[in-house]
A and B are shown apart, each in its own frame.
Chain A
């Protein structure tokens, strides 16, 4: 049992910046070594603060403690998902708490499980690469499309040219044209589908 270890740390006044660095280091130790002492430090700092945040939001002592418990359990179990390059420990822990609160409220209000916090703020998801990115464009080659290319709407032509002639990635194009990545993908798809249609007509 670790009863009594953690909370001594609490009253030492640490500067915010140092606090982030210090807490970051502890989280890394928790992730790598399952270090209970480091976790106790993190817990000692954040649990009371989380509770006062939760009390304000939920107005209920028992729910607030449940929120602290769930949040800190996630921190313990999923410390390997913390990435200090993406944000500070307080940001990471806050987003976990906010997501749990969002789902708690949903449950209280008896809503169906249709929009859950993970969809909105995927903070505890392992990152997976985009799956079906390449599927369609492999089926058509530039040679096949040749002169048909000219019949495409201007916007689709620009995107296809950037991909197939200038060899840019869809992300680069999105950044350059200041349009969303999804739009680039859609335009690519639409253009390729259209070309495919033209090719089968032409055949």
Chain B
């Protein structure tokens, strides 16, 4: 059961479209998995639209340009409703909705389907961890990270912020236990060491805007290189 959700502020920024694209993608993917937040987004969207497009008095902003605009628009033809069958085949060919690792197949939430083609190869890291980078074309780095059963990310804190969505499986980090669909926000105030004990391990999607900072034991040796791993 999903216990960790985006904050109300984050949902609101997402609804109004002012949240940054990478964060928006995370919220959107969480909503694919979480009915509670999906409903909240719908409600907030309706409220916001009502406040700005119905209550708003428009008298002041009348503009003669509108007449011309209206005339132009109604000259345009209607969009052809697309041929269902054809669209289906095309999309089916173009889009795989799952990613695979080591013979396991994981279904991704809808918002992340487009990332399947942008995913780099899996590489094996320390401690039963696998990582596949995703190029979002934005600042910050996105990765699919898979923890095998017993896999651990060395204890670390964050220089910037880290957003993680649990796609499948469970993990704990010494503070909490996370399950599929959970949305996790971490920043410099948080130090944690994620670990999965689930029989099938745990797949997460994670976006960080700065390299991680390892805090304990031998993993500290990784710090100078942490921009290479766990980015």
Contact = CB atoms under 8 A, between A and B. Distances in A.
Interface string A99-110: 101100010000
Nearest to B14: A120
Interface residues of B, number: 74
Given A52-B58, A80-B81, A189 B105 contact: yes
Interface in B40-72: 42, 45-46, 48-50, 52-56, 58-63, 65-72
Interface string B89-121: 001100001100001111111010010001000
A182 B74 contact: no
Contact of A193 (B70, B87, B103, B138): B103
Contact of A119 (B2, B53, B114): B114
A94 B44 CA distance: 12
Interface in A161-195: 177-183, 185-187, 189-190, 193
A50 B53 contact: yes
B123 interface: no
A182 to B, nearest CB: 5
B21 interface: yes
Interface in A1-22: 1-4, 6-7, 10-11, 16, 19-20
Contacts of B73: 39, 43, 69, 72-73, 76
Contacts of B67: 3-4, 6-7
A51 B53 CA distance: 10
Main secondary structure of the interface of B (DSSP, over half): helix
Interface of A: 1-4, 6-7, 10-11, 16, 19-20, 34, 36, 39-40, 43, 45-53, 55, 65, 68-69, 72-73, 76-80, 87-88, 90-91, 93-95, 98-99, 101-102, 106, 111-115, 117, 119-121, 126, 128-132, 136, 153, 156, 177-183, 185-187, 189-190, 193, 197
14 contacts: A3-B67, A3-B68, A43-B73, A51-B61, A52-B60, A53-B52, A90-B50, A93-B53, A115-B136, A126-B87, A179-B2, A179-B179, A180-B34, A193-B103
